[in-house]
Amino acid sequence: MGGWVEGDPVGDRVFLDLPGFSPERGGFLPSVRVAYETWGTLAADGGNAVLVEHALTGDSHVVGAAGPGHPTPGWWDGLVGPGAPLDTDRFFVVCANVLGGCQGTTGPSSPAPDGVPWGARFPEVTVGDQVRVEAALADALGIDRWACVVGGSMGGMRALEWAVAMPDRVAALFFLASGAVATADQIGTQTTQQAAIRADPVHGLGIARRIAHLTYRSAYELGERFGNQVQDDGRYAVASYLDHHADKLERRFDADSYVLLTEAMNSWDVGRGRGGVDAALGRVTARPVVAGVDSDRLYPIALQQQVADGLGVPLEVIPSPYGHDGFLIEVEAVGKLLRGLLG
């Protein structure tokens, strides 16, 4: 149950240990371990590196089979590899598990100085904190400037933060199925998920996943797949589907990480301290592509339109019946946009 812990199979992870870190909202981490994976070869000048940013329950395992250390196969299979949109014959691709995560990077399930897992004592972190840790990883790898930063959903927040906070370090930006600031709808949904976890430490994560998964898929798709069908065991088919995803997440994710990361998403506002969203977007010098999924009800198209308008580029709309999860499922459409951005 839960995330990766020391002593579990390492799999394809590589680790970097960083010194003490002070999150912007207080607290102190005496050290930070970053778990990451890479594909391809870094050029001598470091100029061919691409950073892929994972979403809420993702991790560093963008592509590859499930196996020891990796309970699930790559979450964006088809995008990274020889001849793929992120062509590893050309690019050096990096993906790191996020600060506060539970797949090898320091988070609530990591040991605190007293030897006991941090749990709910882990300091609050922001998207900005997470990007500062990623910048330290880039420094350690010898990457001064990313050829591209790619991210969808929570990963889109970090991709945009990179382009705004450190514009000289990002040549191209692929911003997908995300927004520039958390909405009341997103905050309301995610605080409800947090409440479920706090009320039931054993089963709350599964309940939170059920709530979340309904926002990840479209009403149309759920209706077409399940309707009001009842299975032989007496459960509605759609309820059985949600149970399945809840059980899967409970086996591979840490509940305290889920609370911490959804709170980082709730606090997300790229314009905070920068004069507002428009002023923040005005800092971006990267060549951008902004894309969204037409059936996304968690991060509706209007949120990507705001970013596209602020960056002065057309919005790319991906048709899909799958809702928010379309950004992971519609690999061909996403790959086409990536190829166009990277030339």
Q: How far apart are CA 162 and CA 225, in angstroms?
A: 38
Which among 189, 191, 193 is positioned nearest to 207, based on CA atoms? 193
Q: How far apart are CA 340 and CA 234, in angstroms?
A: 49
Assess whether 324 carries a catalytic annotation: yes
**Count of CB atoms within 10 A of residue 163's CB?**
27
Which H or E run includes 302? Answer: helix 301-311
Token duo for residue 262: 């959804």
Task: Compute the Cα dihedral for 21, 128, 158, 83 and give only its sign.
Answer: negative
Assess whether 153 carries a catalytic annotation: yes
> DSSP class of residue 325?
G
Q: Are residues 179 and 307 in contact, defined by beta-carbon separation less than 8 angstroms? A: yes
User: Which residue is catalytic, options 54, 70, 213, 324?
Assistant: 324
- The residue type at 242: L
Q: How far apart are CA 226 and CA 204, in angstroms?
A: 24
Q: Regarding beta strands 86-87 and 80-81, do their DSSP bridges make them parallel or antiparallel, or are they unpaired?
A: parallel
User: Which residue is catalytic, options 12, 256, 269, 296?
Assistant: 296
- The residue type at 279: A
Which H or E run includes 198? Answer: helix 184-199
User: Which residue is catalytic, options 153, 178, 218, 257?
Assistant: 153
Q: What's the length of the chain?
A: 343
Q: How far apart are CA 49 and CA 90, in angstroms?
A: 9
Q: How far apart are CA 19 and CA 49, in angstroms?
A: 24
Q: Regarding beta strands 14-18 and 172-176, do their DSSP bridges make them parallel or antiparallel, or are they unpaired?
A: unpaired
Q: Are residues 79 and 58 in contact, defined by beta-carbon separation less than 8 angstroms? A: no
Q: How far apart are CA 105 and CA 30, in angstroms?
A: 14
Active site residues: 153, 296, 324
